[in-house]
Amino acid sequence: MTDNQQTNRITIRQLSKTYPGGVRALNQIDLEINGGMFGLIGPNGAGKTTLMRILAGLMRPSQGEARVMGHDLHDSSGRQAVKASLGYLPQDLGIYPNLTGREFLDYIAILKGITSSLERRRQCDSLLETVRLTEVADRKVKGYSGGMKRRLGIAQAMLDTPQLLIIDEPTSGLDPEERVRLRTVLSEMAKRCTVILSTHIIEDISQSCTDLALMYKGQILFRGSPSTLIGQARGKVWQITTSGESPNNGLSVVSMLQLENGVRYRVVGTPEPHHEAVLVEPSLEDGYIWMLQQARIAVH
């Protein structure tokens, strides 16, 4: 293992988090993350944001061990050290509405300890360009669209070339063109640092991550490469054409297409024989649906 991989390494052992109200958001998680781009996926409430906040040093775990780049997150000195080399985009980033985009970035750059105004200017200009906000940089943030605010949030996370970039749903609210652009930007970043991103847009993971974790109810349901997750659903994904009625229960409908004289469904599961289903190649989304379907069956 190279030095770079060693310092990028994140090690989590038996990590749990119970919120004051009693919600167990993380339940004895074991996870190792090395360099490159790591995807976190899972349904609402699975624990993705909780895990990211702990890794960002913003919240203490209830139990277990978490080390980021050699620093122990149980110690306040460890959390401080992680924060110093971290870029973080929270799921709900509050941006002072009366600042312009450029002023906001400059303010965050000061908080990150970039003391030279010339250097701040250089970085802000370059990042505004990266997220394509140069044209609106001197407009107040309150006049930005949702996607523009999100892109400004991504820019602030990338200030001062972090060693670890944790971004919580970076692509939510971005139009398809900007999403594709951002994927490229993040892939470039991931060549130099560890990027952990959570998303509900499964396609973003399949395009950019080599490694991912699927979370469910505070646990890791799957850990591996996108292609291995796709493989989980092989032989379970079918195309069924009906005259209109939806297929039997026990199947998850992934998509449907209105035809001239019927409806074509793509389903995950085991169809009944009368459906005359045709087996199709699975996608990453099918793998995700299949794993969750099995987990829910196991719970009931």
Ligand X SMILES: Nc1ncnc2c1ncn2[C@@H]1O[C@H](COP(=O)(O)OP(=O)(O)OP(=O)(O)O)[C@@H](O)[C@H]1O
- Minimum Å distance from CB 66 to ligand X? 15
Answer yes or no whether residue 21 interacts with ligand X by CB under 6 A.
yes
| Side chain identity, residue 45 | G
Phi, psi of 260 (to 5 degrees): -60, -40
Contacts of 294 (CB under 8 A, 6+ apart): none
Secondary element (H or E) of residue 10: strand 10-18
Nearer to ligand X (CB atom), residue 136 or residue 166: 166
Cβ of residue 243: shortest distance to ligand X, in angstroms? Answer: 37
CB of 179 to ligand X, least distance (A): 17
> Which entry of ligand X, Mg ion, none binds 44, CB below 5 to 8 A by partner kind?
ligand X
Collapsing DSSP to helix, strand or coil, 62 comes out as: coil
Q: Which stretch binds ligand X (CB under 6 A): 48-56, 112-120, 122-130, 237-245?
A: 48-56
Exactly one of 18, 30, 45, 93 binds ligand X (CB under 6 A); that residue is: 45
Please list, residue by residue across 167-200, b when 16 or more beta carbons sit within 10 angstroms of its beta carbon and e when fewer do.
bbbbbeebeeebbebbbebbeebbeebbbbbbbe
What is the per-residue binding string for ligand X in 53-92, x denoting contact by CB under 6 A? --------------------------------------x-
Alpha-carbon span 240 to 263, nearest angstrom: 8
Which option in Mg ion, ligand X, none does residue 36 bind, with CB closer than 5 to 8 A by kind? none
Least distance to ligand X from the beta carbon of 89, Å?
Answer: 13
**Closest by CA position to 287, among listed 220, 202, 200, 207:** 202
Write out the H or E segment, with its range, that includes residue 127: helix 117-130
- Rounded to whole angstroms, the Cα distance separating 250 from 98 reads 51
Contact 286, 237 (CB under 8 A): yes
Contact partners, residue 159, CB within 8 Å, separation at least 6: 87, 105, 108, 109, 112, 114, 123, 124, 127
- Least Å distance between CB 272 and Mg ion? 37
Using the rule CB under 6 A, which residue among 12, 29, 39, 42 binds ligand X? 42
Is 48 a residue that touches ligand X (CB under 6 A)?
A: yes
Q: Is residue 162 classed exposed, middle or buried when 0-12, 13-18 and 19+ CB atoms within 10 A define those classes? A: buried
Q: Pick out residues in 144-203 that bind ligand X (CB under 6 A).
A: none
Closer to ligand X at the Cβ: 64 or 101?
64
Identify which of residues 44 and 261 has a Cβ nearer to ligand X in the complex.
44
Query: Residue 48 or 179: which CB sits closer to Mg ion?
Result: 48
Interacting residue ranges for Mg ion, rule: CB under 5 A: 48-49, 91
Cβ proximity to ligand X: between 56 and 240 the closer is 56
Draw the binding track, 89-128, toward ligand X (x: CB under 6 A; -: no contact).
--x-------------------------------------
Contact pick of 1, 3, 44, 113 for ligand X (by CB under 6 A): 44
The answer to whether the Cα torsion of 172, 175, 180, 181 is positive or negative is negative
Nearer to ligand X, 58 or 99 (CB): 58
Q: Which residues bind ligand X (CB under 6 A)?
A: 19, 21, 23, 25, 42, 44-50, 91
